[in-house]
Amino acid sequence: MSAINCYHCGTACDQTITIEDKSFCCDGCKLVYQLLDQNGMCQYYDLTQMPGMTAKGSFTAEKYNYLDSQAIQEQLVQVLGEDQAKVVFYLPQIHCVSCIWLLEHLNKINSGIIHSQTNFEKKEIKIVYRPSQISLKQLVQLLAFVGYEPMIHLGGNDLMTKKKVNRKQLFKIGIAGFCFSNIMMLSFPEYLSVETSELGILRPFFIYLNLFLSLPVLFYSAKDFFISAYTGLRQKWLNIDAPIALAIAVTFSRSVYEILTQTGAGYLDSMSGIVFFMLIGRWFQDKSYDSFSFDRDYTSFFPLAVTELVDGVEQNRLLATVQKNAILLIRTDEMIPADAQLLSSGGLVDYSFVTGEHAPIEVAEGSMIYAGGIQKGRSIKVRVVKPVGQSYITELWNNPSLQNEKNQAQSFVHPWSQYFTIVLFFIAFASALYWWWTDPSKILTAITSVLIVACPCSLLLTVTFTYGNVLRWLGKSKLYCKNATVLESIENIDTIVFDKTGTLTNHQHTHLEFIGDTMNVKEQLAIKSITNESLHPLSQLITNYFSKIEEVVKVESIQNFVGKGTRAVVDGEEYLIGSIAFLQLQGVDVSTDIKGSSVAIAINGSFRGVFSVNHIYREGLTQLFNQLKSQDYEMYLLSGDRDTEYFSLQQMLGEDITMHFEQSPEDKLNFIQQLQFQGKNVMMIGDGLNDAGALKKANVGIAVTDQSHLFTPASDAIIEGAMVPKLAQLIQYVKKGKLVIILLFILSILYNLVGMYFATRAVLSPMVAAILMPISSISIVSLSALFTYFFARGVASKS
C-alpha cells in the first residue's frame, strides 16, 4: 500500500479526513486548507508541494489572551498613526517560497491587515495593520492558525531584533569617502602639470578647496582614532590607534604648513584616504557578525506573560509581576516560568531547555517542577514556589564565577603595533640626526615624511579585512563567531570539551528498534491503540513505529502509573507497557540485557520484548575525533546521561577520550574551571542551558543548534548541528587567518620600506605619497579576500 501524505503539511496519514481527492492528517490542516480555499489562496500549494506546517494540536486560542494587555502591547507594537500600527514577529517556521507568498498575502484573509513583508534570511515578518479591525491577539491567532506561530518572549524579541544601524559610522564613512575622492580629483592637475604656473589662479583655489574638504575628515570622521589613542595613553598603553592618529595629525599639519607657506600642495589626499580605508575596514568587520545574538540569557526564551488563576478565574499577568504562591495554568507546550508545585495530575515535563535531554519526565501531583521545563501533556495547575528571579535556572545563570569577562586577552596585533611605533620613532630620530649633520633645512621635511609614509594603516587593514573575510566564510559554513577576538581565542585552544546529547547526537532523529518475539497483527494493533491514547513522546514513537497499521481499536480499560508505565485491556487481553522495572513489579519475568532508554512489553503476564530507543549520532564523528587527535588537542566528553553508551562511544570516538557521565550543570562548570587552573585553553561545545555555565566559563564557548535562530545559550559562537563533524577543518581555517595576516603584514612592511627610502632622503613628494597609500590599501584588501577565499576552498574540498 502506497503511503498517503497530508496535502497541507506532508505528514503521513490515512484517508479518514478528506476533501474531494485531498487527504489531511488532522482537522487542523483541513481547516487551514479550507480557510485558504475560501479566500482564493490555493496558489500557496502550487508554489511548493505540501508546504504547510502541521496544525495538529498546535493552536490554542486562549493561550494568547495575554496580548490584550495594554502593557504588553506597548512592548511589542509601534503605533504609526491614527488606526495604524506595526509589529515585527520572528517566525521560525518560514522555510520556502510558499511560506513567503502566504505571509505576504495575509490581507486577503483579513482586511484589517494593510501590509505584510517577510525577511526570509532572518525568518521574520513585519505587519502593518488597523487595530480597530484586528487586534494584536487576533493577528497572532491568525498566524498560529495557518501554522506560523510567532515566538514572543520575556527578554523581548531579541531573536529577530536586528542590531541598530550605526548611522554615525555610515556618515563618517560617507563624508570621508566623498572628501577623499574629491581631494584626489582636485589634486590631479597639481600632480600631472609640468610647471605649477600652468594652473594659474586655479592652483591656489584647488589647494584651499582641498584644505576645506579635509577639515570634516579630520574633525569628524577621524575623531574616534584620536579618542582611542588618547584613552590608551591615559592608561599608559600604546594601542594601534595611537600611531594612526599620529600619522593623521602629522600629515594634516605638514600639509597645512606647506599650503600656508606656499611651498607645496600637502598630503591631504593621503590623510583622507587613510581615514576612509580605516573606517571601511572596521565597518566590514562589524558587518560580518551583526545579525546574531550571542548574549542571550534565559529570559529571552521565557513567556512574556502567564495565565494566573484568581478565585478560579483566568487572568493574564506579566511574568515579572508573578508572586510566590500564585496559581498558574500551564497549557500544552507552554513553558513552566517558575519553580512550582504541581497541583494536578498529568505532569509530563520536557526539561531539554535546561538539561539538553529531550525525553519528557512524568511528574506526580504534589511534586516540584522547575522553571524552563515544557509541559507536554494536558493543561496543569501549579503553585509558584520561587518566582522566575529566584528560580534554579536563575541561580545557574547568575553563578558569580560566570561574571568575569573573557576573550579580553591582548590581541597579537597590539604588540606588533607597539614595536612598529618604536621602530618608526627610531627611524625618524635617526633621519633627523643625519640631516642635522648634513643639511639642517631638511630635518622637518625628513621627520614628517617618515611619519606620513610609515602609517600603520596597512597593519590595521590587514587585520580587519582578513578577520572580516574569515568571519564571513565561517558564516557560510554555518559557524557564526561573535567577533574577531573569538578567532584569536580559537587559535590558542589546546583542549576541547564536548557535551553529548544534542551536540554529538541529533535529537531531531530518534531510532526505535524492537528486540524480542515477533508479534502478530492483532497484538501490534492493540499496542498502537494503547500508545495512541498517550501524549508521552515514547508512546508517540511506538505509535509511529506501527504507522503502516491504519486503524485503531477500542481500548476497554487503561490505567497509567506516573513515571512507570501503563496497564490496559484490549479484546480481553492484558497489556503492560512501560519500564523494565515496572514490568518486574507486576510480576513479569523480564529477560533482556538492554540498557538505556527503552519500553518493555508484556501480554497476559508474558514478556514479549523491548522497544530500544537509540540516539542517532551525527555522521562523521569518528573522523572528526581522529582529525582533532592528529592536531594534538586534548579532548573530553561530558554528559548528563547515565553511562549506558560508554562502550559504544569508546568504540566510535576512541579509547583515549576521557568521558564523564551523570554530570550536573555545576559539575560541567567545575570541570572547565579545573582544566583552566591547569593552564589549559578550553573550548566547550554544548547545546542545552545546562551547558550555559560551562560555555560562558570556557575560553571559547560554541553553542550547537540545528536551527541557528532557535535557542542557544550565551556563547562566543554558534554552529549548526550538521557542521559539528566539520569542526576540525573549521578550526584549521581560523588558524590560516593568522597566517594570512602575517603574510600581508610582511607585504605592508615592504611598501613601507619603499616609502621610507624616499622619506628619509627628504624627497617624498605628494604624488609618491598619493600613489603608495591607495596601492598599498587596495592590494592588501584584494589579497586578503583572495587568500581567505583560497583557504576556504581548501577547507571545503577536504570536507
Domains and CATH numbers, the chain: 4-36 (no CATH), 61-153 (3.30.70.100), 162-288+412-466+736-798 (no CATH), 303-387 (2.70.150.10), 479-507+617-732 (3.40.50.1000), 508-615 (3.40.1110.10)
Grid cell in block for residue 481: 563567531
pLDDT tens across 370-394, in order? 887 888 777 889 999 887 666 666 6
For residue range 239-293, what is the model confidence (pLDDT) as tens digits? Answer: 667 777 887 888 888 888 888 888 777 788 878 887 888 788 777 656 654 544 4
C-alpha cell at 700: 571559547
- Percentage of the chain beyond pLDDT 90 is 11
What whole-number percentage of the chain has pLDDT above 70? 79
> pLDDT tens, 727-754?
999 999 998 888 888 888 888 778 778 7
More confident residue, 796 or 43: 43
Contacts with 475 (C-beta within 8 Å, 6 or more apart), sequence order: 288, 289
3-state SS string over 442-455? HHHHHHHHHHHHCC
Tens-place pLDDT, residues 217-236: 999 999 988 888 888 788 77
* pLDDT surpasses 50 at 159: no
Cell (9 digits) for 463:
587585520
**Model-level pTM greater than 0.75?**
no
Dihedral Cα 97, 103, 108, 113, nearest 10 deg: -150
Secondary structure of residue 336 in the 3-state scheme: coil
Mean of pLDDT values over 701-716: 67
What distance in Å separates the CA atoms of residue 783 and residue 790, rounded to the nearest whole number?
A: 10
Is the pLDDT at 161 greater than 50? The verdict is: no
Give the pLDDT confidence score for residue 354 in this predicted structure.
Answer: 60
Q: Tell me 321's DSSP state.
A: G
Phi/psi class of residue 625: alpha, beta or left (left: φ > 0; alpha: ψ in -120 to 50)?
Answer: alpha
Tell me what pLDDT residue 7 has: 78
For residue 725, give the DSSP letter. Answer: G
178 pLDDT above the threshold of 90: yes
* pLDDT at position 603: 92
Mean pLDDT across the chain, nearest whole number?
A: 79
What does the alpha-carbon distance between residue 380 and residue 26 come to, in Å, rounded to a whole number? 24
Please, which pLDDT band fits residue 202 given cuts at 50, 70 and 90?
confident
The Cα–Cα gap between 45 and 7 comes to: 8
The answer to whether residues 661 and 646 touch, using CB atoms and an 8 Å cutoff, is yes
DSSP string covering 101-122, please? HHHTTGGGT-TTEEEEEEETTT
Residue 720, H or E segment: strand 717-720
Determine the pLDDT at residue 722.
Answer: 83
Residue 707 has pLDDT above 70, yes or no: no
Q: CB-hemisphere CA count at 13 Å for 665?
A: 26
What pLDDT, in 10s, does the model give residues 358-367?
A: 567 778 888 8
- Cα separation, 7 vs 19, in Å, equals 10
pLDDT tens-digit readout, 482-513: 777 888 889 889 999 998 877 888 766 677 88
* b/e burial code for range 700-718 (CB count within 10 A of at least 16 → b): bbbbbbeebbebbbbbbbb
For 316, half-sphere exposure in the C-beta direction (CA atoms, 13 angstrom radius) is 16
What local confidence, expressed as pLDDT, does residue 497 receive?
A: 94
Say if residues 509 and 316 touch (Cβ distance below 8 Å).
no
pLDDT of 158: 45
Query: What b-and-e string marks burial along 547-558, b requiring 16 or more CB atoms within 10 Å of the CB?
Result: eeeeebeebeee
> Looking at residue 586, what is its pLDDT?
87
Q: What is the pLDDT of residue 367?
A: 87
pLDDT in tens, 428-463: 888 889 888 888 878 877 777 777 676 666 666 777
